[in-house]
Amino acid sequence: MIRVLIVDDEIYAVKGLLAGVRWELIGVDAVFEAYHSAMARQMLQEQAIDIMICDIEMPEGSGLELMEWMKGAGYAPETIMLTCHAEFAYAQKALQLGGCDYLLKPVLYEDLEQVLLRAIGRVEARRKVSETDELYRKYEERWNQQKPLLIERFWQDLLEQRILPRRPELERALASYDMAYGELERVRMILVSVENWEKPFTERDEEIMEFALGNAAGELLMAGHRGNVIRDQRGNLIVVFYLGSADASASGTPEDDEALLQGCKMYIEACRRFFYAKISCYVSEAAPITGVMKLYHTLLHAEYENVTRPGEVILLRDSGNGTAAEAPDGTPQLSLVDWSDLIEQGDTEGLLTKLKELLEALGKERLTAETLTALYHAFLQTVYYVLHRRGLSAHLLYAETGLAASGQAATRSVPAFKGWVKDMAFAVQELLSARSGDHSVVQKIKAHIAEKLHEELSREQLAALVFLNPAYLSRLFRKETGMALTDYILQERMRKAADLLVMTDKSISEIADALGYGNFSYFARLFRKVYDVTPHDYRKNQRRRA
């Protein structure tokens, strides 16, 4: 028996597939319907679904998010993804890497039938396995599906220092993922940075394209090597190669600079050509995993500093890039990465100790106003770098702490400079602590949306309101609410429209105008997308119930 689930927020699209596909002829015994992600999840839990046909773009959770949930929950139906965006044809290969077929809407029934026949063949091939082997395979497959998500969580915990990069802690953590410490005793990392999109994508489009970029990185950059493609908590795409403990220096390995350079160039060109994304690749050196934080912060710093070489491959030969001040006589310097680590860890005493060592190394003769000014700007750069790593604007530092932006008072003497460094370090720590959950940011955005439902609200305007970059705000809002920012705005506008339909006698056109929709038919189409009925029918049904 073959069971198929159709998931699409457009009810007429579902009904069209039900009527147009020759289900019995191709061997499908039962077809189920779902009109949003939550309904699909419930159906997957209640029915033994063999094949899922799913729209990518849905307002209450995309098809890609549904696929991620299925992986985490252990469900593995054959999946056929649909989208109405013709420009996403180039993403077909990337999406197939996630184990799915891909068709453009409107779907030709004959094409869908052919794809379904292939999916049915794969389902029936799996069923030929004996019950004992099937039971073992089921648990093995579930583990293999969950393992990439668990490993990504391991890397997120490691890079956020919830797991300390020390061998005992790492061995314990890796054992829970069925991995040995020796497998990744040494690592090498590539940070993939999206400089800009060469097409005007919406927020949801960008999320789909970032998903495709990650899959393509796995195919083109990993190229059969051991490792993972992950996203850190800030949404950065990072490729991690596992080099093991041996000195692997043969040509073609991840330690071969030339091979890695060529792979990155191919990936950059593929992203430009197929995904309309201009990207840069920052490649670290190989290092023990116990030193991964320095590799990671060096990559972040290199991205922050790069203003002259966008769209290139940047090999970082020295993981100690970035100094606090340049001294031509070779006096000891502090790495910017060291400064930033101490600030983020809240180790003000350690920071002041390092500063004292630096000032003593310079000596009284070289401690001039010019030297203090150079140190002032170097430390300020480090502070801005720390804020940048957390997705925060430097404006917040002065707006919320009352610190002065001018360095004139800070550089008038050595004691004044030490005091300024201490005050600045405490101010940054307080700001990072206050913004650690960023709940206040999301609440502020929600409040602003509620007040401005009648106005055009762009992601860029909302990001400027809370001094965050737009991409970071999108990731943060989705993480906190489970919804895309644009979907939330639509939901709130239609909720307000529903209230006005029931509680007032305003005409539907007046309600549409009050919410900033000059085009009545467009408003009605959006309302129906959310409530599955027209505004007129919604008002009639609600008043009949009352």
Q: Is the pLDDT of residue 208 over 50?
A: yes
Residue 281: strand pairing partners:
192, 313
Give the pLDDT confidence of 152-167 residue by residue, as tens digits. Answer: 888 888 887 778 888 8
Q: pTM of the entire structure?
A: 0.54
Under the banding of pLDDT at 50, 70 and 90, the label for residue 22 is: very high
Average pLDDT over residues 7-32: 93
* pLDDT value, residue 386: 79
The tally of CA atoms less than 13 A away on the side-chain side of residue 459 is 20
Q: Is 3-128 a domain of CATH 3.40.50.2300? A: yes
* Domain limits, the chain: 3-128, 162-315, 336-434, 446-545
Q: Is the pLDDT of residue 328 over 60?
A: no
Give the pLDDT confidence of 262-316 residue by residue, as tens digits. Answer: 999 999 999 988 888 888 999 999 989 988 888 888 888 788 777 678 889 999 8
Q: How many residues does the chain have?
A: 546
* pLDDT value, residue 494: 93
Q: Is the pLDDT of residue 144 over 70?
A: no
Q: Is the pLDDT of residue 140 over 60?
A: no
* Superfamily, domain 446-545: Homeodomain-like (1.10.10.60)
Under the banding of pLDDT at 50, 70 and 90, the label for residue 322 is: very low
Cβ count within 10 A of residue 404? 11
* pLDDT value, residue 385: 75
Give the pLDDT confidence of 402-420 residue by residue, as tens digits. Answer: 665 566 778 888 888 888 8
Fold of 162-315: Alpha-Beta Plaits (3.30.70)
Give the position of tokens 């077909």: 92
Give the pLDDT confidence of 457-500 residue by residue, as tens digits. Answer: 888 888 888 777 676 677 778 777 878 888 899 999 999 999 99
273 sits in which H/E element: helix 257-275
Cα 67-70-74 angle, rounded to 5 deg:
145
Q: Is the pLDDT of residue 78 over 70?
A: yes
